Structure 1
């Protein structure tokens, strides 16, 4: 078994397990060994659960030997962001406030993963309380980018992204309130999907912003993201925001071209403030979509400035509402970064919050109108390369998500959004392309993303990356 196996896609691994050429025990053991070797360098996991993972793998091995395969995730090692509850295992949310909390039940998505046969190998590092774009955690250390150890892995699901890019898991579950799945995926050369709001239940996930929070899959390929989404999507009767619409089979059929597809681009906001190399790379990706047969058309979306304001007001005020009791009782356990954000939310007046929600409703309608006749919207995912770790102060950190990526408006809309690798800078740092579709159209996003990925298979570069193997870190503190 070679190191290349650690970068195999889920579908290929599933075939090996199904035909008994590979055991859940063997692959879980190999992943745990790799985590043991690389996590001291990359700090992708806050907590690794080897004993529990091997118990799960042993039970799944026995099922395999008896001819019972639960599905494509049977025996596949998966990481879970450490803001999502796991029964019997600490869930810290990247904070000292919850450092000793051991939930007595799994989150809905973790229940679904286990039912599907996934092996949970650990809890991934994150920005404290998911309130940031860098995963520079003051208590558990920064997650480092496998392409350059001095750089951030993005956030807030940076641990997931680092683990995937370095072969320390085969899929991961993250959260996305303002780009926290998609942006770290783009910065690490992996795939991230924010589903339609309510498509995946958030029950059992500590909230950042109730009306903006999403849970979704992170993976190395679009097909792997589809496999994960099929496992975790579906109605949760205990989650009032959970959609009742049945989740279809994603990627049930693959596309051979994009003839008949119309893809919109909006230059205002989405293409502003871009690094020159990233701009050229994204334009090349758009050209590739056109070569595949898609019609690319420019549109204008009204109300973009007001929508940005509304997203900040809603996120920060809802965040403060959740944290207020704990912040008043345990202020010393919050970092300056998070306290800065929560104090911003504290200043939001009720009339501002109501106005922001009204702007949001209008913006959703205006965006749907602007996208009429279009299948999706394409945009850059990351606008700039990742920053150096420790290069941004807490006061500046609140703007990081807007400097690194123009991602939050997809959360305000609640529309599904996919980040897929589309190239590299001259410094060998990944670049991501974002596709945004109408509500419930995850299947369209995944089909288009899958075809683009097959036409330009950037995922293959992950197995070739050796930047993290040396363990040389210039900014280690």
Structure 2
């Protein structure tokens, strides 16, 4: 099925080249063909999607005002509450939970006339980065089904990459939107903390959780952000980034990194320079201990969130999530408060960093995706857990509360995608959209052709 941008869909409906029902049927057929192999969806809402599409056609024929996402088929990570639709959070414990109201963002998307295709598979309760789910099976990467799509929003990343939806909404606590975006060759944005409501999204950490869109291109990302925030973003889809100050880290983001990934990152930075951006070397000496701070806050708050479930149903969690939740009892009040204080320090430090630059460019991940089941990564004589490796470049920006986006920047010799992470100051998502769009238009035409012709 041909991939269309959201603007192309809406203009096609208005010109009567196709109808919402026809497009919805095409997406449902694609899901039926691809989901058995990729396992991106837990629940497919065929009847609801067709009913919504029919109602939208009536609305169009009646000449009524239409929303910004009119007839755009979306999916939602399965920890987003959807009224009358199974919402498992990727768990066995909540395997029968059917909410009686929508999460705030799901309701917002309905107001904008989007169509709901279903709920995507994920790492159990969003507590992980592989989406290797013990209850619903692993999500598989469309570039190579033997590999993880990243997580925790792995089903969302895989569904967008395989054109099983136009876009998806995921949650990001320490990288859970950006990691699957990088792993699946799509675009994922963690907005500034607090920009998008998390009401009705099953939490890990009220201090870190954000909601963000995963899309196939920058055009769709800008449209989604407009629909989510009621702010103008499509006006920043311009190819001119002359004079934009892009920070290149002199430390941390060039350490313990796969050589091929680093090479593709440097090529991306060079490409930004060739577009007229000004590269500025940036020292970030204050990053030590950021991963421990993320884990302390998320584990402590996650333990509180899961308190009643742990009391009744501890044995029903997957082994990895159970171990994390059990460890929450060992975190002292002093450790938790120290981590919160460290977070305040990172916010201050990055405020100073973004006085000198407009955008910080880093690798999204230190490594390409790994095979499903791989739990450790080797860097010379250093062994690291897959979790620590995959969150090493993303978690710090959750602590700092700044917007961060992963956009594709190349393909490894093994045929796996690599992501470039672009970061801006608080509430400067416009800088990410402008920079990302210019990079995309200059560099990603061949990448998109390759991705959109994947055989899955």
The TM-score, its normalising length taken from structure 1, stands at 0.91
Give the number of equivalent residue pairs: 447
Higher mean C-alpha displacement, 153-162 vs 326-335: 326-335
Aligned twin of 2:307: 324
Quick check: 1:53 aligned with 2:40?
A: no
> Tell me, what secondary structure is at the counterpart of 2:288?
helix
In the TM superposition, 1:427-466 aligns within 5 A as 427-457=414-444, 458-466=447-455
**Separation in 2 of the partners of 1:68 and 1:168?**
29
Residue 398 of structure 1: CA displacement? 9.6
Deviations 1:360-403 (A, max 9, x none): 1012111221332210111001221111112228xxx9942431
- TM-superposed CA distance for 1:254, in Å, is 3.1
Q: Indicate whether 1:160 and 2:143 are aligned.
A: no
Shift of 1:308: 2.5
Q: SS in structure 2 opposite 1:145?
A: coil
1:238-257 residue CA offsets vs partner (Å, 9 max, x unmatched): xxxxxxxxx52002143332
The corresponding residue for 1:238 is none
- 1:10–1:72 contact (8 Å) kept in structure 2: no
State the alpha-carbon separation in 2 of the partners of residues 157 and 273 from structure 1. 25
TM normalised by structure 2 equals 0.95
1:315 corresponds to: 298
Name which of 315, 335, 344 aligns with 1:352.
Answer: 335
Residue number among 83, 100, 103 corresponding to 1:104 in the alignment: 100
Q: What is residue 390 of structure 2 aligned with on the other side?
A: 404
In 1, Cα distance between the equivalents of 2:296 and 2:326?
12
Moved more, 102-111 or 336-345: 336-345
Q: Deviations over 1:442-476 (max 9, x none)?
A: 1111111011100012323222212x2xxxxxxxx
Q: Does 1:191 align with 2:177?
A: no
Secondary structure of 1:150's match? coil
Residue 248 (str. 1) matches residue 231 (str. 2): yes
Question: Aligned with 2:289: secondary structure?
Answer: helix
More moved, 323-332 vs 209-218: 323-332
The 5 A counterparts of 1:247-326 are: 247-326=230-309
The corresponding residue for 2:369 is 386
State the match for 2:380 in structure 1. none
**Could you tell me which residue of structure 2 aligns to residue 217 of structure 1?**
213
**Which stretches of structure 1, 4 residues or longer, exceed 3 Å deviation after superposition?**
none
- Structure 1 window deviating more from structure 2 (312-321 vs 265-274): it is 265-274
Deviation at 1:427, TM superposition (A): 1.2
Check whether the contact 1:183–1:382 (CA below 8 A) recurs between aligned residues: yes
Q: Root-mean-square deviation (CA), in Å?
A: 1.5
Distance 2:405 2:64 in 1: 33
Instruction: State the Cα distance separating 1:218 from its structure 2 match.
Output: 0.4
Equivalent of 2:409 in 422, 440, 446: 422
Alignment of 1:73 onto 2:69: yes
1:184, distance to aligned residue in structure 2 (A): 0.5
Deviation at 1:164, TM superposition (A): 0.8
The whole-number CA distance in structure 1 between the counterparts of 2:397 and 2:254 is 15
Gaps of 5+ in 2: 377-382
The structural deviation recorded for 1:301 is 2.2
Deviation at 1:435, TM superposition (A): 0.5
- Aligned residue among 22, 36, 41 for 2:37: 41
Deviations 1:412-454 (A, max 9, x none): 1110011111110011110100001111101111111011100
Deviation at 1:297, TM superposition (A): 1.1
Q: 1:92 to 1:176 in 2, by over 3 A?
A: same
Deviation of the 1:124 alpha carbon: 0.3
**How many angstroms does 1:306 deviate by?**
2.7
Residue aligned with 2:63, SS = coil
Q: 1:143-154 residue pairs with structure 2 within 5 A? A: 143-154=139-150
Question: Which of 168, 171, 174 is 2:167 aligned to?
Answer: 171
Q: Deviations over 1:145-198 (max 9, x none)?
A: 000010001100000111111110001000000100011001111000000101
> Cα offset for 1:24?
0.5
Task: Return the alpha-carbon distance in structure 1 between the equivalents of residues 77 and 211 of structure 2.
Answer: 10
